Amino acid sequence: MASERPGPSTYPGRPAISPFTAAPQTTMPFLSSGLVVGSEGSGYRANTPAGFNGPSMSSPPSAYASPNLGTYQRFPGPASTQLISSANGPPTGQPVLLPPVLPSTGQHVLAPPGSFHPQPQIPSVPMGQPPQSLNLQPPRGSFPSSPLESSFIAPRPASQSSLHGYPTRQANLVSQVPPVQSPPFLAHQGGYVSPPPLAAPVGLSSREQMQHTGGGPPVGGIQNLVEEFQSLSVGSAPGSIDPGLDFKALPRPLDGDVAPSSLANMYPLNCHLRYLRLTTSAIPNSQSLLSRWHFPLGVVIHPLAKAPDGEEVPIVNFGPTGIIRCRRCRTYVNPYVTFTDGGRKWRCNICSLLNDVPGEYFAHLDATGRRIDIDQRPELTKGSVEFVAPTEYMVRPPMPPLYFFLIDVSISAVRSGMLEIVAKTIKSSLDELPGFPRTQIGFLTFDSMLHFYNLKSSLSQPQMMVVSDLDDIFVPLPDDLLVNLSESRNVVDVFLDSLPSMFQENLNVESAFGPALKAAFMVMSQLGGKLLIFQSTLPSLGIGRLKLRGDDPRAYGTDKEYAIRIPEDPLYKQMAADFSKFQIGVNVYAFSDNYTDIASLGTLAKYTGGQVYYYPGFQSSIHGEKLKYELTRDLTRETAWEAVMRIRCGKGVRFTTYHGHFMLRSTDLLALPAVDCDKAFAMQLSLEDTLLTTQTLYFQVALLYTSSSGERRIRVHTAAAPVVTDLGEMYRQADTGAIISLFSRLAIEKTLSYKLEDARNFIQQRIVKALREYRNLYAVQHRLGGRMIYPESLQFLLLYGLALYKSVPLRGGYADAQLDERCAAGYTMMTLPVAALLKLLYPRLIRIDEYLQNASMKIDDFGKFSKSLPLAMQSLDSRGLYIYDDGFRFILWFGKMLSSDIAVNLLGMDLSTFPDPSKVSLSERDNEMSKKLIGILKRFRESNPYYYQLPQLLRQGEQPREAFLLFANLLEDQSCGTSGYVDWMLQLHRQIQQSA
Amino acid sequence: MAWELLLWLISFFVSIALLALVIYQLICLSDLEFDALNPYDTSSRINLVVIPEFVMQGALCTLFLLTWHWFLFLITVPVTFYHVRLYLRRKHLLDVTEIFRLVNEEKKYRMVKLGFYLVLFFIVIYRLVVVAVTLLIDEDVDMHESYTF
């Protein structure tokens, strides 16, 4: 439809607008019909305008009389692809055109919406938008006359011709930008969601049109289109979309993360994608090619990802032979090495050196050159294996799993109930701590003094030793502060039972955090291990005390802004480095509702492979479950101790930057004192040689660690990827999830030395540059004119980019997120695996009331029945019950008109009459509906086990909770100063075109 | 004239020391790059000599000011100023946690400083020689004069 742009002379419809805009009070239907003329006029060729204008002028009123205002909201896209087909077909009288056009639209317009029902949505009340959009009519007056229009005119002739020249290609391309997209319009949009009003009626008509044609033989119904789209998607290069014209047609990742499978198909011996994902499965062969790929080139590695049952990583023990590795590059033997010389030599796939096969490992080759024993050798058939490491891989005997708890017992910790929950949770997890019977454990509590505990097994009661000299920390007892859990189990039990009551009456408000940290370091430095810090106030005494510095709104927007996001006291970095050096991994649990300087505390976790858990305003009655689950998971999940990780790759390529929670011990060695199955790492690579001569590039990740059972092991993941010479191929093979994962890490790191705005612009610029480059690949060839195109593989990238833009660490300014929350979210996102990150960025929104009410549906049907909805206000119907799931919490949104028996069944009361829904908690009740809901929640939790999702109840219209809990996260809507999905697309499109 | 000679001798030794310190830091950094040194050792070694270097450089600058050597003072004062600024912002020490990300910058910064110290070193040598020679010639002249008269 881009091709449909009228030449300058074909603007007859335009003037028609001005009369309407001149009278801003025009009613909606009237206005829209008037506008239809304008936009349709623009959709016409020069030869038809007169003929077409007439009917369209008259028909719209009747056609649009029935839908209410809300419906207009629903079809905000100005000129959808469908519109083109529809608008085009009748007037030009070229039915021949229809089939190619429709399938094409199907590719982008139909397929995604296929998953959310347009029909049920129509009646929904759009939550107060109609008045807004009505109010805002005056500004509209400004856009038809905007200067930008002229800029759209230029490409038109070209694209018009393309319609004739490439009818099928047309299908792929998305339509032109209508004049509506002028910047003045965008600038005015601030308040209302509905995109150019011009579009609304058009979208409607197109939909109707589609329904008409849908029955016709050439089109064959939506289902066909979807299939066609899927089969097309494999080969067709330029995916394309109508830039923001049809809201519903925009691509959305409603199925969550879908890892591209092409690489796995090409190299079946690769390790599974859950362990290693490349940002593109086609490696550029030259630096000049790489410089045109504006996304990061790298990998996201999740070395200990939990494998489903039956796919566990096989363990290989070479025994006395030692591990087979390349002499030169130290690559581990893997499925891609080749055996030659009758099996006596093997060639390293990374550096192509010929190595000798040790005698014990020798096996004859069969006629095809395969080793005859290959079936018994998992290291030669599987991309992921675990080698048992002999003593050469140890600098000291494998350490026992060691947990040390540093617990704040000041008044706020006691009052919030944190202390009690922590003590109980630790006690209940004792049996499941990994590494029995070698596990060691120790405790240290602190307020203005440090309390050490002697847990010696011969004691019946733990002995407490208090150190009050904070300037000169010493450890009062050389050993017995860290004890073997199985030997001292009774003492530990007694201690944990008495811990909450011991400090029941504590009124101390101070926190000697720094000295306590030093003391913990002294206790642990012999062995290393895992240090869990529970902190509920701002450190106020001794070294490492911190100031209340986060409350200053003036810092935002200045060049000094970043300073509040980095540790205030260099001591924290120094301590983190020391912890890492002595194999201590730190996890920080922070609880305060006041400022606790997560930026500083989190540094400890950042460089030690740890994690930051943040519970703002912790109340044991509300957040207790969450803390309990997350602490239990932290304590019981499989942990790799004193680990180091290295990634090797072929000649000419080098990994240069690493992003995540770790410390670099040498240029390419990541030190991970304690790493577990919930941590992912990202790294970028650069080409050293100007030209790669190999056809395939191999990557090998090796994680050397001590398992909880005390065995030294090396987990090796090997992957291969083709080297290509074609930029288009790189884009086609791109992996949105990995790109976004790297982007988020890069952007968060940027916030540590620049303004938030710079970090956001960074993402936007990179996306724009990349798409411009892609566009340049095809624009000339296919005369794309004003369309926005992107590869199929990146169809969700733009939305994720927007999501990143609005994510907690990067969004807005001072008022949009509390500093601590920002920092905590930043630390979290730096470690999240790809799937969980994407889930956090584009959460799931599902309507569940129908499912709950329908007794015939069982929990097993839920997967089939439930459909994720676009994250926009329009998806919410006031008669529905919705669940919003971002992997960190559930928000249950009760519509105003939701039948009250659902609420009664679920909560035991009528929510609409209850004064404060934030106080209501969800628990299983003895009725079918409640059981079903709990079942759903359980299922959702299983799909994202990293964190506990605490259900929060929300009633429609309950301000201000609704606004910041849910509306701020409906990222496709416009919210305070940020653009919605449609505008975002328009904005990007404009930028892409600017110098294209 | 003898104090002049002394001043240049002091400057000479100080600039040699400065050169040595910078070269030492550069060696540490390249050792780190080639994996011969771990980040902890590198940063502690370098951080150990940062303050002495700053102090020496500052002392040299003050010395030039006090002895009214405008040209050399103006050459050295920007560096002193830069050092003071780094120190006040607490950015003078190497950050062990981010050392690999910073290593290239840090090397460049020290290379520039090395170049600067070299220039300073040559100027100082030149002045030293000039002063020494004039002193000798003067003595010569003195002797000669005393001889003739």
* Residue in B closest to A603 by C-alpha: B97
Whether residues B39 and A574 touch (CB distance < 8 A) is answered with no
Rounded to an integer, the average pLDDT of A389-405 is: 92
- Chain A residues with CB inside 8 Å of B39's CB? 577, 663-666
Domain co-membership, A918 together with A859: yes
Domain co-membership, A784 together with A652: yes
The answer to whether A485 and A440 are in contact (CB under 8 A) is yes
Instruction: Say whether pLDDT at A33 is over 60.
Output: no
The predicted-structure confidence for A424-442, as pLDDT tens digits, reads as follows 999 999 999 998 889 999 9
Which pLDDT value is given to residue A911?
A: 67
The answer to whether A230 and A792 are in contact (CB under 8 A) is no
For residue A180, name the pLDDT band (cuts at 50, 70, 90): very low
The answer to whether A276 and A701 are in contact (CB under 8 A) is yes
DSSP A794: G
Closest CB to B97 among A607, A657, A667? A607
Dihedral sign computed on CA atoms, order A274, A279, A280, A283? negative
Number of domains in chain A: 4
Closest-CA residue to A533 (of A628, A429, A439, A444): A444
Instruction: Say whether pLDDT at A762 is over 80.
Output: yes
Rounded to an integer, the average pLDDT of A327-348 is: 92
Instruction: Say whether pLDDT at A160 is over 50.
Output: no
The answer to whether A600 and A546 are in contact (CB under 8 A) is yes
Cα–Cα distance, A877 to A25 (Å, whole number): 28
Cα–Cα distance, A824 to A843 (Å, whole number): 18
Cα–Cα distance, A858 to A890 (Å, whole number): 21
Distance (Å) from the alpha carbon of A15 to chain B's nearest alpha carbon: 59
> With 0-12 CB in 10 A as exposed, 13-18 as middle and 19+ as buried, what is A563?
middle
Rounded to an integer, the average pLDDT of A664-678 is: 91
Which pLDDT value is given to residue A960?
A: 75
A833 vs A552, residue with greater confidence = A833
Q: Which of A587, A609, A637 delimits the end of a domain?
A: A637
Rounded mean pLDDT of chain A?
75
- Chain B residues with CB inside 8 Å of A657's CB? 101
A581 to chain B, any CB pair closer than 8 A? The answer is yes
The predicted-structure confidence for A673-725, as pLDDT tens digits, reads as follows 999 999 999 999 999 877 888 889 999 999 999 999 999 999 999 999 999 99
Question: Which CATH number do you get for residue A735?
Answer: 2.60.40.1670
Residue to substitute from A655, A658, A663, A750, interface B, most B β-carbons within 10 A: A663
The predicted-structure confidence for A533-548, as pLDDT tens digits, reads as follows 999 999 999 998 888 8
Which pLDDT value is given to residue A966?
A: 82
Which pLDDT value is given to residue A893?
A: 87
CB pairs A-B closer than 8 Å:
31
For A39, A254, A403, A874, the CA distances from A112, given in Å and listed in that order, are: 25, 8, 48, 16
Whether residues B38 and A666 touch (CB distance < 8 A) is answered with yes
Rounded to an integer, the average pLDDT of B72-96 is: 91
Domain co-membership, A557 together with A419: yes
Cα atoms in the Cβ-side hemisphere of radius 13 Å centred on A874: 28
Domain co-membership, A610 together with A744: no
Share of chain A above pLDDT 90, in %: 37
Question: Which CATH number do you get for residue A445?
Answer: 3.40.50.410
**What b/e sequence results for A966-984 when a residue is b if at least 16 CB atoms lie within 10 Å of its CB, and e otherwise?**
bbbbbbbbbbeebbbbbbb
Token pair belonging to B122: 């040559």
Closest-CA residue to B118 (of B24, B42, B21, B19): B19
Instruction: Say whether pLDDT at A30 is over 60.
Output: no
Which pLDDT value is given to residue A120?
A: 37
In a domain, A33, yes or no: no
Distance (Å) from the alpha carbon of B40 to chain A's nearest alpha carbon: 8
Domain co-membership, A296 together with A339: no
In sequence order, the β-bridge partners of residue A315 are A386
Question: Which CATH number do you get for residue A374?
Answer: 2.30.30.380
Domain co-membership, A619 together with A656: no
Distance (Å) from the alpha carbon of A663 to chain B's nearest alpha carbon: 6
- Chain A residues with CB inside 8 Å of B101's CB? 657
Instruction: Say whether pLDDT at B5 is over 70.
Output: yes
Domain co-membership, A623 together with A661: no
Whether residues B100 and A577 touch (CB distance < 8 A) is answered with no
**Chain B residues touching chain A at CB-CB below 8 Å:** 32-33, 35, 38-40, 90, 93, 95-97, 99-101
Whether residues B97 and A667 touch (CB distance < 8 A) is answered with no
Distance (Å) from the alpha carbon of B131 to chain A's nearest alpha carbon: 47
A577 to chain B, any CB pair closer than 8 A? The answer is yes
A665 to chain B, any CB pair closer than 8 A? The answer is yes
Which pLDDT value is given to residue A260?
A: 78
Rounded to an integer, the average pLDDT of A412-435 is: 93
Dihedral sign computed on CA atoms, order A264, A267, A269, A273? negative
Number of domains in chain B: 1
Which pLDDT value is given to residue A783?
A: 60
- Chain B residues with CB inside 8 Å of A665's CB? 38-39
Between vectors from CA A68 to CA A63 and to CA A70, what angle results, nearest 5°?
A: 125
In a domain, A692, yes or no: yes
Domain co-membership, A646 together with A630: no
The answer to whether A172 and A238 are in contact (CB under 8 A) is yes
Q: What are the start-end ranges of the H helices in A438-524? A: 489-502, 513-524
For residue A484, name the pLDDT band (cuts at 50, 70, 90): very high
- The residue segments making up the domain with residue B27 are 2-148
Domain co-membership, A620 together with A472: yes
In a domain, A578, yes or no: yes
Instruction: Say whether pLDDT at A948 is over 70.
Output: yes
Helix (H) or strand (E) holding A370: none
Whether residues A577 and B90 touch (CB distance < 8 A) is answered with no
Whether residues A576 and B97 touch (CB distance < 8 A) is answered with yes
Phi, psi of A808 (to 5 degrees): -55, -45
A654 to chain B, any CB pair closer than 8 A? The answer is no
Domain co-membership, A785 together with A915: no
Domain co-membership, A279 together with A342: no
Distance (Å) from the alpha carbon of B96 to chain A's nearest alpha carbon: 7
Cα atoms in the Cβ-side hemisphere of radius 13 Å centred on A912: 13
The answer to whether A496 and A423 are in contact (CB under 8 A) is yes
- The residue segments making up the domain with residue A965 are 843-970
Question: Which CATH number do you get for residue A861?
Answer: 3.40.20.10
Instruction: Say whether pLDDT at A379 is over 50.
Output: yes
A525 to chain B, any CB pair closer than 8 A? The answer is no
> With 0-12 CB in 10 A as exposed, 13-18 as middle and 19+ as buried, what is A68?
middle
Q: Which residue has the tokens 């039948």?
A: A899
Domain co-membership, A606 together with A663: no
Residues whose CB falls within 8 Å of the CB of residue A591, separated by 6 or more in sequence, listed in order: A412, A413, A416, A418, A534, A535, A536, A615, A618
Between vectors from CA A963 to CA A962 and to CA A965, what angle results, nearest 5°?
A: 65
A667 to chain B, any CB pair closer than 8 A? The answer is yes
Cα–Cα distance, A452 to A183 (Å, whole number): 64
Instruction: Say whether pLDDT at A181 is over 80.
Output: no
Whether residues B96 and A573 touch (CB distance < 8 A) is answered with yes
**What b/e sequence results for B32-50 when a residue is b if at least 16 CB atoms lie within 10 Å of its CB, and e otherwise?**
bbeeebbbbebbebbeebb
A891 vs A857, residue with greater confidence = A891
- How large is the ipTM? 0.86
Instruction: Say whether pLDDT at A217 is over 50.
Output: no
Which pLDDT value is given to residue B31?
A: 92
Which pLDDT value is given to residue A179?
A: 38
- Chain B residues with CB inside 8 Å of A667's CB? 33, 35, 100
Closest CB to A664 among B90, B93, B100? B100
Whether residues B40 and A663 touch (CB distance < 8 A) is answered with no
Which pLDDT value is given to residue A119?
A: 38
Rounded to an integer, the average pLDDT of A465-493 is: 89
For residue A454, name the pLDDT band (cuts at 50, 70, 90): very high
In a domain, A69, yes or no: no
Which pLDDT value is given to residue A168?
A: 37
In a domain, A372, yes or no: yes
